[in-house]
A and B are shown apart, each in its own frame.
Chain A
Amino acid sequence: MNAPPGLLLAPEVGWALLGAFSVLWIGLGRFWGRRAKSLDGYMVANRNVGLALGTATAMATWVTSNTTMLAPQFALELGVWGALAYSTASLGLFLFAPLAKRIRQLMPHGYTSGEFIERRYGGTAWLVFVTLSMFYALTWLVSMSMAGGLLLEALAGVPYVYGMTAVLAVCTAYTVFGGLVAVIGTDFVQSVIILIGLTVVAILAVIAAPIAEVHAALSAERPMLLDVLFPAALMALFNNLLFGLGEVFHSNVWWSRAFAMRDGIGARAYTLAGVAWLPVPVVGGFLGLAAPALGIGVSRPDMVAPIVAGHLLGQAGAVIVFVIVFASIASSIDSLLAATSDLVTNDIIHRRLRRHASDATLRRMATAVVVGTAVVAWVACLPNIGNLATVLFFAGPMVASMIWPILAGLYWRRTPAWAATAGMLAGSSLGLLVYFEIGWYAASTTGAIVSALVVIGGTLASRERFDFARLSDGDEREAVA
């Protein structure tokens, strides 16, 4: 079936692929979801996830639509430095490895990152943290749902709203059926698909566009992409690294996996996931750099990878890209829906509104929260404002400002609550100021630095001695059960 002019796939093919994979994900979600009957099963996968599943879920979740679509955009806009900057996000997984171990030790019965913040720093810090974290979760969810709609539109001409709605609806459906168990199970299949697909694309792309030719074309036509002193790219290098660290350190997506993994698994699983993730943005970045060299017209920078793969590899390439990106989008949307649901159900509904609710009631509420979160994201996606980078990086200073409150809270007894709260607020505010005054590529760096200074200064001035045993105290849910 030939694609219409300007498209890489016929719309019927796009819909057929979407339908086939939707059936697969929902079917697998239902199959694995049978194990998620209890609240612990639904929220933290019965705390029994092993090394293989743990590695696969961490890797697949971190391979988001942003990795497959934003990493090429980074390379297209910021050159070789940009590709390198994106790959530094693997440090987030490497450095979370010791944190995962520490979290599991300190809070063996914990559920969320918000719960840690509240026990460590109190209610005010929790409120700031949850507000920032929920905002970030929404921008991440919106950017990925948008990516689904944009991908289907770019590849097969499926109208943006229909594609975005379909992708979001499918992920919501299987997350509702099986909670974190279904999410981790599908993540395993999705990570295998992503790795095999990317290996094929990488080999075929290098054959079709040799590195020497790409270099020659960039030197002649887009010299800044190879310039060692490319100002915006230099600023983006550590900005992206710190953004990635902030995302992983604070987000309940990663904390819920730390709680879900068996004792002694977390550190190894996150380290292996970092190794497996590293080549993904490198391959994506090469596709971005190859576009100008191959004379491929790019109208939206976040669509460069699908367009280049489709041009290089024909319809087969477009199908492979569709499968990879859909798998990466699904693996992240489901994780985010589940983690956000955990945060709202545990931190707000259970700990504040319905303290004596039974596990069955909370399980039903968690399901409702998944659906509600998806609806909010759908509404936010409708206007299709901005490209993926601008949507996601707006949350950059907020997540970067949470690195030091988390780090200090897990290891330092002297860090006071006011320093953590002030660090998050000051880092977010000044980071956002820089976002508008200079650009997104400097905002996360600013947020992290300001927050670090406040937290370190507050710690040095404090005489407090926090008792870490308090983090494992008061597991109300066990008492209720």
Chain B
Amino acid sequence: MTDPSRQPGAFARQYRRHRSLRAWPLAAFAVATAVVLGTTLAWAARARATEPPQFEATEVATQNGSLTLKWTGSGDAFEVSLQSRRPTAEPARVVYRGHAPAAHISGLRNGEYAAVVRARSGDGAFGDWSAPATIAVAHHDMQTVWWLFGAGLLCVVATVGTLIVSARRSHV
């Protein structure tokens, strides 16, 4: 009877079995690493996607009650909510829904407002609200306004009056 280990090809088979046994832990390690890495990356990507946008300016002042808020952050749509803080605190209301990372707001009365923005990700769910931007609205004082209004009125009346009278009197 011949020793099986001495049969042709036996060494090669043994070598392949040994090698596959040694490869198991390596393969398991590689799979585990890939799973952990993949999960981590996916989690990080999701965290990035749902990370609230950030306003470019967190303190905005306006003298005519209108302003444009701009922000950075990813998302396929955005929603901006505005709340009056002073002189009276009022419930927040949505003032912008759109795709562009900017919102124009107008018609605000004197006072202090807080605006927050959130992004909508690809699955349609909104992320968290951003840190607020504070908006201070202080319209021009009426004394300046009446001066300029009166002066403008006077200038227009003088111009129109002069033109009408001069046109009637003119003879070439």
Contact = CB atoms under 8 A, between A and B. Distances in A.
Contact of B106 (A77, A438, A468): A77
Interface in B140-161: 140-142, 144-145, 148-149, 151-156, 158-160
Interface stretch (A271-279, A327-335, A441-449): A441-449
B104 A224 contact: no
Contacts of B30: none
Interface stretch (B1-9, B34-42, B48-56, B58-66): B58-66
B88 interface: no
Interface in B54-86: 63-66, 68, 76-77
Nearest to B160: A95
A6 B64 contact: no
A412 to B, nearest CB: 7
Contacts of A239: 148, 152
A110 to B, nearest CB: 14
Contacts of B160: 91, 95
Given A232-B140, A234-B145, A301-B68, A102 B170 contact: yes
Contact of B149 (A5, A221, A224, A238): A238
B151 A445 contact: yes
B172 interface: yes
A76 B106 contact: yes
A245 interface: yes
Interface string A278-322: 000000000000001001011111001000000000000000000
Contacts of A21: none
- For the complex, would chain B's binding face be called helix, strand, loop or mixed by DSSP majority? mixed
B162 A407 contact: yes
A438 B65 CA distance: 14
B95 to A, nearest CB: 7
A439 B64 contact: yes
A95 B68 contact: no
Given A234-B145, A237-B149, A411 B108 contact: no
B166 A412 contact: yes
Contacts of A99: 163
A231 B142 contact: yes
Interface residues of B, number: 47
Interface residues of A, number: 56
Nearest to A404: B159
B145 to A, nearest CB: 4
A235 interface: yes
B152 A407 contact: no
B86 to A, nearest CB: 16
Interface in A235-262: 235, 237-239, 241-242, 245
Residue picked from B63, B65, B101, B152, most chain A C-beta under 10 Å: B152
Contacts of B131: none
Nearest to B146: A234
Interface of B: 63-66, 68, 76-77, 93, 95-104, 106-109, 139-142, 144-145, 148-149, 151-156, 158-160, 162-164, 166-167, 169-170, 172
11 contacts: A91-B160, A101-B167, A222-B107, A225-B107, A230-B65, A230-B139, A242-B155, A299-B103, A407-B162, A445-B152, A452-B159
Interface of A: 5-6, 76-79, 91, 95, 98-99, 101-102, 105-106, 218, 221-225, 229-232, 234-235, 237-239, 241-242, 245, 292, 295, 297-301, 304, 403-404, 407, 410-412, 438-439, 441-442, 445-446, 448-449, 452, 468
